[in-house]
Homo-oligomer: A and B are copies of this chain.
Amino acid sequence: MPTDGPSTLELAVSSVVFALRPHPETGELTLWLPLVRRIREPFEGRWALPGGPLDPQQDLVESARTTLHRTTGLTPRHLEQLYAFGDADRSPGAQDESPTRVVSIVYWALVRQDEDAEAVDGENVEWFPADDIAEEAGPLAFDHGVILAYALRRLRAKVIYSPIAHAFLPERFPLAQLRQVYEAILNRALDPSNFRRQILAQGTVEDTGERMTGTAHRPPKLYRSSPDRSRYTLTIQEN
């Protein structure tokens, strides 16, 4: 136990942003996320989650939104609180240089495929395939590696009992696309016919009556995700 600890306290808001893009090698749909290169100590040169100090005037979720827009150009609709990280001795590597205690409230964002087009790569912002972070980006700054691992675990757990996968898709979509989202997140193939039945049975999508045109073959029906009965979501309305 340290004899002397930090005496000042700072509150930061960071985000883990997930988008689905084809993998550079295999071509299969995979999870990507943007990281920001630190341009000062501590951890100068390392990659970190996008984030920043909390403006006392701003709601937590607003803070996440603005930082995200500033760094990536994105304004994801799906933004959800993940966890608050605040051990007194976080980011051990930085202890000497920064005696400041930082509590980070971490959000995760899911980017819709049609929103993803607005993504702009900033000077020190780069996107990485989520499962290749260690090789491609090296060890992350602070405890962000732990945070990322947790976010991935949560995403994969939550996708099977909650309709969050829909958050990756535009307004209207064929079921095959929804299935691809599930397959990308879970990293395994799903039987198309059984998938269809399960999704329709749980009532989280509804038929729009329209069909997709210009497909290579038989045109699939288009669905939209049903308004949430909030049977599943545990997101919080504070007021």
Interface residues of A (CB under 8 A from B): 5-9, 11, 54, 56-60, 81, 83-88, 90, 92, 101, 103, 105, 143, 146, 150, 153-154, 157, 161, 234, 236-239
**A11 neighbours in B (Cβ, 8 Å):** 9, 11, 103
| Measured CA separation A5–B54 after assembly (Å) | 14
Cβ A56 vs Cβ B234 within 8 A: no
**A7 neighbours in B (Cβ, 8 Å):** 56-57
**A239 touches which of B6, B9, B58, B87 (Cβ 8 Å):** B87
Cβ A5 vs Cβ B84 within 8 A: no
| Measured CA separation A102–B153 after assembly (Å) | 30
Shortest distance from the beta carbon of A193 to any chain B beta carbon, whole Å: 27
Given A9-B11, A103-B11, A161-B161, the answer on whether A57 and B88 have CB atoms closer than 8 Å is yes
Give the residue name and chain of the B residue nearest to A62 (CB). Answer: B88
Given A84-B81, A105-B84, the answer on whether A57 and B5 have CB atoms closer than 8 Å is yes
Shortest distance from the beta carbon of A234 to any chain B beta carbon, whole Å: 6
Interface SS of chain A: loop
| Measured CA separation A73–B90 after assembly (Å) | 29
Give the residue name and chain of the B residue nearest to A85 (CB). Answer: B238
| Measured CA separation A229–B58 after assembly (Å) | 40
| Measured CA separation A57–B109 after assembly (Å) | 31
Q: Which 6 A-B pairs have the closest CB atoms?
A: A5-B57, A60-B86, A84-B84, A9-B56, A56-B101, A59-B87
Cβ A57 vs Cβ B236 within 8 A: no
| Measured CA separation A110–B232 after assembly (Å) | 23
Give the residue name and chain of the B residue nearest to A1 (CB). Answer: B57
Cβ A83 vs Cβ B161 within 8 A: no
Cβ A238 vs Cβ B90 within 8 A: yes
Q: List 22 A-B contacts (CB under 8 A).
A: A5-B56, A6-B56, A8-B56, A11-B103, A54-B103, A56-B101, A58-B88, A59-B86, A59-B88, A60-B84, A81-B83, A81-B84, A85-B238, A87-B239, A90-B238, A143-B238, A143-B239, A146-B237, A146-B239, A150-B234, A153-B234, A157-B234
- 15 more contacts with CB within 8 A, not counting A54-B86, A85-B238, A161-B161, are A6-B56, A6-B57, A56-B101, A59-B86, A60-B84, A60-B86, A60-B103, A81-B84, A83-B236, A84-B105, A143-B238, A143-B239, A146-B238, A153-B234, A154-B234
